[in-house]
Structure 1
């Protein structure tokens, strides 16, 4: 496991733990003037308050528990190494459990608002359900994002590809396939929390018919984000393509369509941001600022593929250029 992946795991785990604790503190302070004193801090098997205490007895231990549960499991997962069996799902489990606890703490407050006494107050089920679903979705995304990269055939491509921008027809004639896994930057990943957080906040006061509209909308937004969080750029005898989310095939370009291939650093904002982008500069799958492969086509807009490193971008460019040259010369290399 490389250091970059370790930092990603720590950022996802500890960052989410901090978000949960902050959500509990902010939600409690927001509702404080409408809560009874003493406040319900324990719920029995029936889901109603059966124990009370001070406001801060709810806020401080609850927030510390969220930090401990989520942060501890995330730390163990990261320390065990990304390749260790189950480490990615231990990270996801800690994040999911923290999300469930956060939704329980906030749901327990909602139905205590404007009550004279806390005893017997139930948990607010829409808040509990919405928060739990949002937590599970975010946990799944974190586990998937932190998971080990797919097969990377960069090592199988001859180093000379990096020095031959025009393309290596010899390597192409051998039918090599190269796959590079790419991940979105941290800022883009953090945006995934926004629709889930908004949904959780709205669910506190929204009537059921509004939730029926909001939940599918949030799921669609979540799905779109997941597709753009990670991808696989593949070059083989059929050309180049990217798989959004690792499974959604898009932006395929055949060797016969390639006029030239360029490798350069890009700024995501010049293409309109992250994800599947269409702009005056072309069509692209952008996971952040950094190295990218610019495929200039004979007909149509340029295609931009984000790549993890300049070295991999050079290798992809060399192999794709080789297939394009082989196609132009009427070569008979392997076809799939």
Structure 2
């Protein structure tokens, strides 16, 4: 039995990722600088920035301005090194993991330093940060792993389909895979912006600048997560049917078995027709609208589901051919 891969379409992935990454990197740098400066009135002139491993007591300090800008400098160097390494090696799976882990680690460390020094007149009186350091390291490792997993996700599969619409001849004994991705730069930028607002609120709370303002953090965090999830999509046709996965981690996933798909076709749809961008419900059924133009549309259980991806005609043809094979 042999395998054949169908076409793969991508829409706006590189540009969207570049803009979102640039905005996110700048936002992280700003948060690192602003956090201690915003609390300057409640901090000593020098901040404790190092604690003894044995005693847990502060044994090193920096002026306030240095404590504000030094982590941002480390972040800028990290971003530059990763960007150059990415350009030279072409490898991408580790980039997201490194940057996300670094951002969480630096931001958590900065918040811990501010919180430990807050309300003290001398840096030697700063509180211990041992517990916070452990939590920050764990959070950075977990975030880095999740981001690396998202960056390394690749598709594989096998496929073919039913109904009126285009068809492809699938030789007996061969397996086919069709894969197409799409993303929306504006939705990714919105997710980045709302995520930075949530991060700023969380860091301010952890740093002791404000109370636990979850009423502020939670809505922005939820908006960022939902927008990010529905800002990119991957559609895959295999011998088992259709799979549509959302977001950088490919979760959540919607699946239709080949026998459940009554027909597949291609339609031209716009955001105005379906009521906006993202995951939309309208008189046309359910549409994952990331860019106007051709959409892969399937009909299952009397309802339509559409996803705006490139090379939709090939995907529809494979689904229809698979359906014809099964019914035959």
Name the TM-score, length of structure 1 as normaliser. 0.69
1:281 corresponds, among 256, 274, 284, to 284
Q: Answer yes or no: is the 8 Å Cα contact 1:178–1:316 preserved in 2.
A: no
Q: Are residues 1:104 and 2:113 paired?
A: no
Indicate how the Cα distance of structure 1 residues 98 and 257 shifts in structure 2: closer, same or farther if over 3 A, else same. closer
Q: 1:28 maps to which residue?
A: 36
Q: Distance in 2 between matches of 1:297 and 1:90?
A: 39
> What is the CA–CA distance in structure 2 between the aligned matches of 1:48 and 1:236, rounded to whole Å?
60
Match of residue 79 from structure 2: 70
CA contact (8 A) 2:167 2:321 kept: yes
1:67 Cα shift?
A: 0.9
Q: Is the helix fraction higher in 1 or 2?
A: 1
Number of residue pairs the alignment of both structures matches = 309
**What is the match of residue 81 of structure 1?**
90
Using structure 2 for the length normalisation, give the TM-score.
0.71
- After superposition, the C-alpha distances for 1:114-137 in whole angstroms (9 at most, x for unaligned) are 221121313557875676566555
Q: CA RMSD in A?
A: 4.5
Where 2:303 maps in the other structure, the secondary structure is: coil
Kept after mapping to 1: 8 A contact 2:16/2:183 = no
- The structure whose RCO (Cα within 8 Å, separation 6+) is larger is 2
Specify whether residues 47 and 102 from structure 1 end up closer, same or farther in structure 2 by C-alpha distance, changes over 3 A only. Answer: farther
Runs (5+) with no aligned partner, structure 2: 1-9
Conserved? CA contact 1:166–1:322, under 8 Å: no
Choose the corresponding residue for 1:264, options 228, 243, 268: 268
Paired with 1:278 and 1:183, the residues of 2 have a C-alpha distance of 19
Could you tell me which of 296, 299, 310 is aligned with 1:297? Answer: 299
Q: Which runs of 5+ in 1 are unaligned?
A: 158-164, 332-336
For 1:5 and 1:299, the matched residues in 2 are separated by 32
Residue 104 of structure 2 contacts residue 139 of structure 2 at CA under 8 Å; is this kept in 1?
yes
Relative to its length, the structure with more strand (as a share) is: 2
What is residue 160 of structure 1 aligned with on the other side? none
Partner residue in 2 for 1:306: 308
Cα 1:220/1:14, change in 2 over 3 Å: closer
Aligned to 2:46: 38
Q: CA deviation at 1:196?
A: 4.8
> Per the alignment, in what secondary structure is the counterpart of residue 154 of structure 2?
coil
SS at structure 2 position matched to 1:171? coil
Instruction: Please say if residues 92 and 142 of structure 1, whose CA atoms lie closer than 8 Å, have aligned partners that are also in contact.
Output: yes
Report the alpha carbon displacement of residue 147 of structure 1 after superposing the two structures with TM.
Answer: 2.7
Deviation at 1:38, TM superposition (A): 3.0
